[in-house]
Structure 1
C-alpha cells in the first residue's frame, strides 16, 4: 500500500452528503469543465481480505435498528398501499395475491444483491461505504468489457432515475393530501378546488423539508407510523362492514391492464431510493441483512399488508374501486355520524403522508444539492441560504407537477414502471453480475449469469410495457376531455 492510509466516509448531516476519500485503490482525475470525476481502477492487494468496511464508517448521527426499521416502513408504506385495491382490480384477486408475493420476493432479493455487492466493492477498494450511483459505477468497472465502457456515465443515469422517481413520489403525495383533505372539507365547509388545498399545504411542506438529517426525522416517522396504523385500522373497520364478496370480482384481470398492476405494485413496494442511505447510517449495519434482519422483517410485513389491503379493498368495492381506497371508505353512508370515522382516517393518513414527504425528498435533495450544486457553491458565503433555496425550489417543482396531474392512479403506475423497474430490479442484477464477473466459472457461474439475465429481461419488459401503457392511457384521458 506504500504507506497510504484508509480514510472513512464522513457523513455530514449539516449538509446531508457523503464525502468519500478514494486513496487506497483509485486515482481520481477531476475535469474542471464539467465537474465530473473519472475513476481509474488500480489492482487490489492482498490486504483487502482483512478490511471490514463497517469498522471504518464514521457517522455523525447513527440510527438504531428500530429507527432504521421505522424509516424503511415509512419509505414503503405511503400512497402505494392505499392504491393496492385498484391494482388488484387490474390484476384480479387470485393473480394479484400470487403476483404481489412473487414481486415482493423479487424486490427483496434484488435489494439483498445490491447491499451485498456494495459490501464486496467496499472491501475490494477499502472504502467504508458507497452510495447507489457509486456502487453501480464501481461494479461496472469490474464487470465485462462492454459494461466497463458504461461506467463513467452510470452514476448520472442512476441519479436521473432516482431523481425522477423521488420527485414523482412527492408529486403523488401532494395530490393525495389535497384529494383526501378536499373530500373531508367538502362535507363540512363546502366545495373548494383541490388546487387550493395544494396551495394551503405548500408552505408546511417547504418547512418540513428544511429538516436536514435523518436522525431528526425519526420522531416524525414514529408519529407517522402510529397515525398510519390508526388510519389503516379505521379503513379495515369499514372494509369489515362492507359486502366482501367474490361475486362479480375477476380472479384474473384483463391482459391489457396487467402493466398498470405491475407499475402500481412496484411503486408501492420499492423504497430503493432510501435503502442505501439508511443502511449506510446504521449503528450496526450488519443487522440490515440476514434471514431475520431489518430488511427481511420490514419487507415481509410490507408485502403482507399490501396483499391484505389490495385483496379486501377490491373485494369490497369491485368496479367502483378508486385510485386510493381512502376515497372509497365512508362514501356509501348517508348519516354524518357514520362518515366521521372515515373522515378522521383520511385526515390521519394525509398527515402521515405529509411527514413522509420529507423522507422521500431526502434523496432528491442529496442528488441536486449535495452531489451537484453544493460543490459549485461551496466557497460562497451564502452556502446555507442557497441550500434552503434549493430545498424550497424542489418542493415548488413537485407542487407545480401535482397541479398538472389529474389522474393519480395512472401517474403512480407510470413512475413505478418507468423508474423502479430499472432501480429496483435491473440495476441490482447488473451490479451483482459485474461485481462477481471474474469469479463466474463453471455451472455455478452459468446459473448466476442466467439468473441475472432473467431479472434484467423481466424488468426491461416491465419498464417498456408498463411505461407505454401508462402513457397511452394518460394521453387518452387528456384528449378525451
Structure 2
C-alpha cells in the first residue's frame, strides 16, 4: 500500500474531499491507479494548486462533491469524449447535479473500481471510493419520505366508504393480519358477502335500526348522566332516520337480495290457494296483486326520496303524526309474528310426516309444536345478527332444493297421469285465496333498506319490476302445475301429495322443516327488536346492566311462547290462518300505509293523488270484507 506521502497530490486532494472527515487526510492507495491515465502533468499541477488552496477545501458536503466532480473532469484529459453522450448541463441526471452528468467520464472511472461494491468497503480507503460507486450508478428522482407508495396502497385499500360496507371491518381485519404475519388469509367469498349483506339489510328492516346495543363497538348509553371517553360529542336521536347503509350494492346484487326476500315458504301455500280460488280466478288475481304490489312498493320508495327519510314509521310520523307511526310498527310486529306462527305450523306438519314415513309413528301435531318451542327459545336469545349467516345460508339452500323437488315430482306425475279436473272459479272459498296471495307477495320490510344500499338507487324501479315479474311468473307456475296435477286432492302442504316412500321426498320433508326452523330467529328479529326498543327504552343498556339483559332474555322467551301458542291454536286450519295473516296484517301494511304517505308527499299531481286514494279505499274495503268472510 502506498503511503499518502508518495501519492500524487491531486489524488490526495480527492481523498481529502471524499473523506467523511474533511480535516483528516485518508489513505488513497485504491485511487493511485488513476495516476497512470494522466498524460499531462500540468493538469495535475493545476488541480493540485486548486485543491491545496484552503478556500477550495470547504467542509460542506455539497461543495466537496462539486470539487470532486471538477477534479474527475480535469484528471481525464486523454479521454475522447463523444459529443453525442454529453448531456445538457442544464438537465442534471445525478444526485451531484450537472457537474457529473457525462456518461463517458463515469464509464472510465468505473473501470478502476472493484466489481463487488459491498466487498469494496472492506478494502483500505474503501469509504473514500464510496462516492464513486454512487456516481457510477443510475440516479433516480427521490420521492419525499413523508408518504411512501406502499403506505399509499395500504390507505387506498381501507378508505372510509369501503369500511362502511357490510363486512368492511372484517375485510380490513383480514388485510391487517396478512400484512402483520406475512401469510395469506382466506377472503370472504361473494356468496358469503351476499348473505352477510342480506343479514345487514335485515338489521334495517323497514328502515328501522334493529342493531342490538349489546353488540355495539362502544356503549353510548348516557342514561346515568355520566360521560367518559366513549361518550359521543353529539348525541343522536333514537328515532334518527338516517340510513347507515352505504350505497355500494350493485343493481344485480340488489335484484338477488329482493328475490331472496320474496321467494320463501309462502310459495308452497299457493297450490291449495289455487284450489280455493279456482284456476282462472287465481291467475287473474295474482297478476292484479303483482301490479298493485309493485305500485305500492314504488310509492314507498318514492316517498323515501321525496321526504329524505329512510324509516317507514318515521315517514308516517311526519305526514300524519305519532298515531300512524304506531300503527305501522304494530302492523310490522303482527306481520312478523304471524309469519313465524304460520312457519311453525308448516314445520310441525313436515316433521310429523317425516316421523310417520321413517318410524311409523303418528304423533299429535302439538307434540312437534312443543318441540319447536324448546328449540326456538334459546335461538331467540341470539343478539349478534351475523351469527345467523350460516343458518340463513342453509335455509335458503334447503328451500331451493325443496321447491325443485316439488316441481320435479309434480311435472313427472302430470306427464304420467295427465291433468286432473280443476275448477276455474270456486264460489265458496275464493276469499281464502286473497289472503294467501297477499301473504306470498309481502316483502315491504326490505324495500327501503335494499334501495338505500344500492350504488345507483335510480335503478331501483327497474330492479323491483324485474323481481315482481319473476315472482308473479314463479307463483303462477307453481300454483298452476300442482293444482293441474293433483286437482281436488291437493293438500295444504303440497309436499304431502308427493310419493311418501321416496327417499328424496322424505329428505326434503326433514331438510325443509330444518330450513324453516333455522330461519325463524331471523323472521322474529324485527318484531322482538321493535318491541324491546320501546319497552326497555328507559332502562340502561344490557351491556352494562345484567338485570336489563335478563329482562330482555325473559321477554324474548315470552314472545316465542306467545308465537308458538298462536301456532298451536291456528294449526287446526292452516289455510284459514295464513289467509287471516295476509288479510288482517298485510293489507294495511302494503296497500294502505304507503299510498297514505305518498298522497301527502306529492302535492302537485292530481292524477297520482286520485290513484292513491282509490288504492287506500279498496285496501280498507278488502281488509274489512275478507277478514269478515273468514269467520262467517
Match of 1:172 among 323, 331, 342: 342
Equivalents in 1 of 2:512, 2:276: separation in Å? 24
Shift of 1:247: 5.1
What corresponds to 1:329 in structure 2? Answer: 498
Shift of 1:340: 2.1
Deviations 1:276-296 (A, max 9, x none): 35545x3647277231x2x33
Equivalents in 2 of 1:307, 1:197: separation in Å? 31
Match of 1:354 among 507, 514, 517: 517
Equivalents in 1 of 2:548, 2:246: separation in Å? 21
Deviations 1:23-49 (A, max 9, x none): xxxxxxxxxxxxxx9x9xxxxxxxxxx
Structure having the larger proportion of residues in helix: 1
What corresponds to 1:106 in structure 2? Answer: 292
* CA contact 2:277–2:431 (8 Å) conserved in 1: no
Match of 1:401 among 558, 566, 569: 566
Q: 1:378 to 1:286 in 2, by over 3 A?
A: farther
Structure number with greater Rg is: 2
Q: 1:184 to 1:203 in 2, by over 3 A?
A: same
Shift of 1:412: 0.3
- Which moved further from structure 2: 100-109 or 404-413? 100-109
Query: Is 1:465 equivalent to 2:628 in the alignment?
Result: no
Deviations 1:77-110 (A, max 9, x none): 3331101011111222222222212211211221
Question: How does 1:303-382 map onto structure 2 within 5 Å?
Answer: 303-331=472-500, 336=501, 339-370=502-533, 372-378=534-540, 381=545, 382=547
Q: 1:247 to 1:287 in 2, by over 3 A?
A: same
Shift of 1:171: 0.7
* CA contact 1:421–1:459 (8 Å) conserved in 2: yes
Equivalents in 1 of 2:273, 2:483: separation in Å? 8
Query: Is 1:265 equivalent to 2:449 in the alignment?
Result: no
Shift of 1:249: 0.8
Question: How does 1:286-297 map onto structure 2 within 5 Å?
Answer: 286=457, 289-291=460-462, 293=463, 295-297=464-466
Equivalents in 1 of 2:387, 2:455: separation in Å? 19
Q: 1:420 to 1:11 in 2, by over 3 A?
A: closer
Shift of 1:216: 4.3
Equivalents in 2 of 1:10, 1:259: separation in Å? 33
Query: Is 1:391 equivalent to 2:560 in the alignment?
Result: no
What corresponds to 2:30 in structure 1? Answer: none
Deviations 1:328-369 (A, max 9, x none): 2225xxxx3xx3222222222222222332232122112211
Q: 1:409 to 1:16 in 2, by over 3 A?
A: farther
Higher relative contact order (CA 8 A, sep 6+): 1
Query: Is 1:450 equivalent to 2:602 in the alignment?
Result: no
Q: 1:248 to 1:320 in 2, by over 3 A?
A: same
Deviations 1:6-60 (A, max 9, x none): xxx9957234999xxxxxxxxxxxxxxxxxx9x9xxxxxxxxxxxxx99x64349
* CA contact 2:278–2:430 (8 Å) conserved in 1: no
Query: Is 1:131 equivalent to 2:311 in the alignment?
Result: yes
Q: 1:273 to 1:318 in 2, by over 3 A?
A: same
Equivalents in 2 of 1:209, 1:287: separation in Å? 37
Question: How does 1:52-67 map onto structure 2 within 5 Å?
Answer: 57-59=243-245
Query: Is 1:154 equivalent to 2:324 in the alignment?
Result: yes
What corresponds to 2:586 in structure 1? Answer: 420
Equivalents in 2 of 1:304, 1:200: separation in Å? 36
TM-score by length of 1: 0.75
What corresponds to 2:173 in structure 1? Answer: none
What corresponds to 2:212 in structure 1? Answer: 14
TM-score by length of 2: 0.58
* CA contact 1:172–1:402 (8 Å) conserved in 2: yes
Structure having the larger proportion of residues in strand: 1
Equivalents in 2 of 1:181, 1:430: separation in Å? 42
Tell me the secondary structure at the aligned position of residue 404 of structure 1. helix
* CA contact 2:215–2:383 (8 Å) conserved in 1: no
Equivalents in 2 of 1:352, 1:275: separation in Å? 24
Q: 1:385 to 1:284 in 2, by over 3 A?
A: farther
Shift of 1:461: 2.1
Structure 1: 4+ residue segments shifted above 6 A: 60-67
Deviations 1:406-465 (A, max 9, x none): 1111010011011111111111111110111xx22xxxx231122112211221222112
Shift of 1:303: 2.1
* CA contact 1:67–1:218 (8 Å) conserved in 2: no
Equivalents in 2 of 1:423, 1:68: separation in Å? 22
Q: 1:276 to 1:98 in 2, by over 3 A?
A: same
Tell me the secondary structure at the aligned position of residue 255 of structure 1. coil
Equivalents in 1 of 2:517, 2:210: separation in Å? 25
Equivalents in 1 of 2:503, 2:496: separation in Å? 14
Shift of 1:320: 1.5
Match of 2:280 among 94, 99, 107: 94
Deviations 1:249-295 (A, max 9, x none): 122x1334222111110011112234335545x3647277231x2x3
* CA contact 1:426–1:456 (8 Å) conserved in 2: yes
User: For structure 2, which runs of at least 5 residues remain unmatched after alignment?
Assistant: 1-206, 217-236
Q: 1:399 to 1:387 in 2, by over 3 A?
A: same
Shift of 1:299: 2.8
Shift of 1:75: 3.6
What corresponds to 1:77 in structure 2? Answer: 263
User: For structure 1, which runs of at least 5 residues remain unmatched after alignment?
Assistant: 1-8, 19-36, 40-52, 123-128, 141-150, 473-481
What corresponds to 1:29 in structure 2? Answer: none
